[in-house]
Amino acid sequence: MKKTIALAILLAVFLLSVPFGAPAADEPSAESLYLAGRRYVEKKKFEKAVDCFRKAIRKKPDSVKYHWSLGEACRAKGAYPDAVAAFERVLKLDPGNTNAICGLGDVHVAMGNTEKAVSCYEAFVAVTKNEPESLYIRGKIHDLRGNPDKAVDCWRKSLSLRPSDFDTLVALAEKLIRTGSEREALPLLLQAKKIRPYDENVLVDLGMLYTKAGAYDKAHEVLTTALRISLYNPKTRFYLGKACYGRGDLKRAIDHMEKAVQMDPTDPEKHFTLGLYYDKKGWQDLAVSEYEEALYLDPQYLYNRLRSKERAAEGPVEPEH
């Protein structure tokens, strides 16, 4: 009892000794907030990154790198108007900032503002003194203007000067995939993967190529890694479903394809593929429903599918040696 009273007295004395309304501990510095934001970007926690960058900017409103980082984080999370505002603020502070010019162009591409994007990229080319970067951006301009051959030519030249540039490797690889040169795209993606082993887009593109080549174990490996990075990419789920099917795991193939359809319900290919898997399982009613949905979304789907198979008859992509 006496010990309890003594402890109560000591606690009361301590509380009375603390000044009323004592100031709170010092807040983190602008640079500390900025560094925390960069770490959140690396972890793809873009909401928290944006919050950190905004707080840093309130403390130091004329910092170019804080505004630029805010623009990149907003672009990554799809807040395009906020990204535009951040990059434009950078350009008010530093009119020749090539990172902001290029970032603004990338945002306009994402928003579908082709002419504004081209204008930004042309401004970049006009001020940059780095030939490989200039060629890379010229390729993006040609791509936006519907000149894929010229885009590919620029990116090839850029890589000849800067062979290990990640962005150029990926841009060229993805363009080659879209134009049917998948064999040539594969080594470019493998090189990009060595530079950034956990880039989601590279992993998914590799998974797609491996799946088309029938290298289902390799596809499953890279796509499982991509799934750990993000659970909500319908393309990952789609090709992971196909990889599981190729490995003879129909149950998981259906599970992944169902999730792909839930995430992207307007894609007829996902519905039709899920229908095929239902058919294989013996669930005819469900299969017919998916086939009907695919044809409802695209009445020409079966015709286009047959044409695609004819073009693919030239041979599969060769997997990694």
CATH code at position 313: 1.25.40.10
Interval 181-195 mean pLDDT: 95
Residue 289 sits in the same domain as residue 269: yes
- Tell me whether residue 99 is in a domain: yes
Residue 44 sits in the same domain as residue 149: no
For the chain, the average pLDDT equals 89
Residue 121 sits in the same domain as residue 147: no
pLDDT beyond 80 at 16: no
- Tell me whether residue 8 is in a domain: no
- Label residue 23 exposed, middle or buried (CB < 10 Å: 0-12, 13-18, 19+): exposed
Centre a 10 Å sphere on the Cβ of residue 174 and count the other Cβ atoms it contains: 17
Its domain, for residue 168, covers 131-179
Centre a 10 Å sphere on the Cβ of residue 16 and count the other Cβ atoms it contains: 9
Evaluate whether 61 touches 81 at the Cβ level (below 8 Å). no
- Tell me whether residue 184 is in a domain: no
User: Using 50, 70 and 90 to split pLDDT, how confident is the model at 15?
Assistant: very low
pLDDT beyond 80 at 156: yes
Centre a 10 Å sphere on the Cβ of residue 204 and count the other Cβ atoms it contains: 24
State the Cα angle at 269 between 268 and 273, rounded to 5°: 120
Q: What are 32's two structure tokens? A: 């500390």
User: Using 50, 70 and 90 to split pLDDT, how confident is the model at 11?
Assistant: very low
Number of compact structural domains in the chain: 3
- Tell me whether residue 1 is in a domain: no
> Which DSSP helix (H) or strand (E) runs through 165?
none
User: Using 50, 70 and 90 to split pLDDT, how confident is the model at 252?
Assistant: very high
Interval 126-132 mean pLDDT: 90
Residue 317 sits in the same domain as residue 204: yes
Evaluate whether 37 touches 69 at the Cβ level (below 8 Å). yes
Residue 113 sits in the same domain as residue 158: no
Residue 171 sits in the same domain as residue 290: no
- Tell me whether residue 218 is in a domain: yes
- Tell me whether residue 21 is in a domain: no
- Tell me whether residue 90 is in a domain: yes
- Tell me whether residue 117 is in a domain: yes
Distances from the Cα of 246 to the Cαs of 8, 126, 148, 208, 277, in angstroms?
Answer: 71, 50, 33, 13, 11
